[in-house]
Structure 1
Amino acid sequence: MQALGKHLLVELHGCNPESLKKAEVVKDILVSAANACKATIVDTSFHEFNPFGVSGVVVIAESHISIHTWPEYRYAAVDIFTCGDVLKPEVAVDYIAARFRCKKPSVVEMRRGIIPGHVGKLMHKLSPSMEKAVDADQELSLVH
């Protein structure tokens, strides 16, 4: 089954609670994970909650890596969505789990962007002639 991207839903239990509390630490871990899997970083945004917990996202050209932490439960929820088949998001999972000292991350993989009726490999960037063909197909699907 061909898809535009891969979305990993990562459950991290038993993490070091101190590393889950500070936005700068969490940001460093996610940015380093993006670099480890050779992603192209576009932007970052992180917020530290009071009394504790962090939410953040690393926007990458290939999509995003996001997190929300619950230090009081030694838990973090991480999403890694990558488009195309060049990046290896599993590398980012391993890096993040190791840095948060999670011994057994749980990972669910979803294929995103499965295009109904499409045959063959899906390109995440289309040439101008391919864009016209896709637009024509979409217009026809709206009529039927």
Structure 2
Amino acid sequence: MTPADLRHSGMHLIADLHGIAGEKLCDADAIAALLRAAAQAAGATIVYSHFHGFGPGQGITGVVLLAESHISIHTWPELGFAALDIFMCGHAQPHRALAVIEAALAPDSRTIQELPRGYAVAPLSTREKS
């Protein structure tokens, strides 16, 4: 299969953010508000969100379910680390969501993987003709 056989569905960003002040990573309500604001900045449609704090000073895990896919986060305040997963399709812009999150969390460093997502398109000769 070649890239020409794939139709682009969306962009999946995997972000590891390091060197974040621990107090920014343990407030579930603040993290929820941040990820919802990031989704809105990206032009995504929020369907549902759920966040869980593991106790005072502990990490957060959460997800914002989008019509265009999702944003999820897992935090380790004791390590100053946050792992993000941002997948958006359609006209939503995941890089805008990441920029909002990074501006608020102010990491010292980051590692970003960009994964274009796609699905196979059968060659025209094998598709049903209508």
Task: Give the alignment's TM-score, normalised by structure 1.
Answer: 0.76
Alpha-carbon contact 1:68-1:78 (below 8 Å) kept: yes
More helix by share: 1
Query: Which runs of no fewer than 5 residues in structure 1 stay unpaired?
Result: 120-133, 137-144
Q: TM-score, normalised by structure 2?
A: 0.84
Q: Distance in 2 between matches of 1:77 and 1:56?
A: 11
Q: 1:28 to 1:20 in 2, by over 3 A?
A: same
Q: Compared with structure 1, are the counterparts of its residues 5 and 118 closer, same or farther at alpha carbon in structure 2 (3 Å cutoff)?
A: farther
Instruction: Report which structure shows greater RCO (CA 8 Å, sep ≥6).
Output: 2
1:34 alignment partner in structure 2: 39
Aligned to 2:48: 43
Gaps of 5+ in 2: none
When the two chains are superposed, the root-mean-square deviation of aligned CA atoms in Å is 1.8
Say if 1:115 and 1:21 are closer, same or farther in 2 by CA, change over 3 A.
Answer: same
**Count of residues paired in the alignment:** 120
Partner of residue 24, structure 1: 29
Secondary structure of 2:20's counterpart equals coil
Moved runs in structure 1, 4+ residues, more than 3 A?
Answer: 116-119
Residues 1:11 and 2:25 are matched in the alignment? no
Given the alignment, which residue of 103, 112, 128 partners 2:117? 112
